[in-house]
Amino acid sequence: MSEHGPVSGAALDALPSFPEGLPFVRPATPPLERVMARLAPSYERGVLTDGPLGRELEELVAAQLGVDHVVAVSTCTAGLMLVLRALELEGSVVMPSFTFSATAHAAAWNGLRPVFAECDPTSFQLDPADAAARLDGAAALLATHVFGAPCAAEELEELGRAHRIPVVFDAAHAHGARRRGRKVGGLGDAEVFSMTPTKLVIAGEGGLVATNRADVAAAVRIGRDYANPGDYNTRFVGLNARLSEMHAATALESLADLDHNLARRRSVAARYRDGLETVPGIDVQLVDDGDESTYKDFTVRVDEAMFGLPRDGVVAALGSRGVDTRCYFWPPVHRQHAYRALASGRLPVTDDLAGRVVSLPIFPGLALDAVDAVVAILAGVHEHAEEVREAIAR
């Protein structure tokens, strides 16, 4: 379904379809009985938040990632907010505009000014060269591992060292990713993961702050409880960002399934990549050799001249066959109402990319024949692009 209403035509009607609809995502929730069994001891003792299951989750994830500290919080956004507060920053923070708005919100809520930088048009990640040109006077560098693929972490860490500023990574999508053999989680001064239903480890709501800095971990740990270390004499303006035991129990059982779910996502992504190689004008996100993406999203860039339709036409055509999609990240953050007052300057690469990318359905339970059908729809839409364009315009 497009903004123009139902899309139909002989070419479209001859393509595969999903009469019941193909969802964009279906959360890989762990079995409820496992979650309830995990939760029961805390629940029966009346311990509902900030309890032993949260601490167990922190210890297991720290061991899994090979980092010194993990602090569980109520959301990834809260984790980012608390990390930036822990670093005691003032001034501006350089970050991508091609990211989810929470990346910028975390800085703005700390009274910091986001300075938006360009992304790379093939990897979709923060462009280190453009970020470097905007770092004079900045207090920190905040990068995102976009769609679960690692960004150029070592280049950004070097920029941080050169400018003597901390480097933080929004790793919301990237639990299980690797950058040149290094596990995402131990990069920079801190990384923050999300545990919402579309992510790799699912809590329902929740976040994980991973760091090798004891001072950052300590500040985040008290910061999630109003910055009250226990004597009600709050040390700074903290948050109520504790993780409940229910969320921790769900996350622990989800963590046990992480390797299986990552393997399934990568299998689905490989099937997409192989199938789309022969479809002109559909370019997949570039993941550097030696890197491992989580494929939290499988996102492609549409070249209208080669494919025959713009991105929005592709979305409409897929929707007419029952395929749900998302247009991340449109509008990019610097174009959103909340940030229009900032003098961000022109970001032509970001604007162009954000108007051309679409994320296709991906989740561990997605059947490979469904992937093949989506690829077949895209191939057919390309082959009959003019007819499809006319159908959309009606």
CB of 325 closer than 8 Å to CB of 359: yes
Q: Hey, CA dihedral for 100, 95, 354, 128, is it positive or negative?
A: negative
Mean pLDDT of the chain, nearest integer: 96
- pLDDT higher than threshold 70 for residue 124: yes
For the residues of 137-183, what is the DSSP string, one character each? Answer: T-SEEEEE-GGG----HHHHHHHHHHHT--EEEE-TT-TT-EETTEE
- pLDDT higher than threshold 60 for residue 1: no
Say whether the peptide bond before residue 329 is cis (omega within 30 degrees of 0).
yes
Within 8 A by CB and 6+ apart from 298, the residues are: 147, 268, 269, 272, 284, 285, 359, 360, 361, 362
Read off the pTM. 0.96
Q: Is 15 exposed, middle or buried (0-12, 13-18, 19+ CB in 10 A)?
A: buried
Within 8 A by CB and 6+ apart from 56, the residues are: 248, 252
CB neighbours of residue 135 within 10 Å: 19
pLDDT of residue 4: 43
CB neighbours of residue 248 within 10 Å: 27
CB of 73 closer than 8 Å to CB of 79: yes
State both tokens at 237.
């303006």
Query: Strands 190-194, 182-183: parallel, antiparallel or unpaired by DSSP?
Result: unpaired
Each residue's pLDDT tens digit, 165-216: 999 999 999 999 999 999 999 999 999 999 999 999 999 999 999 999 999 9
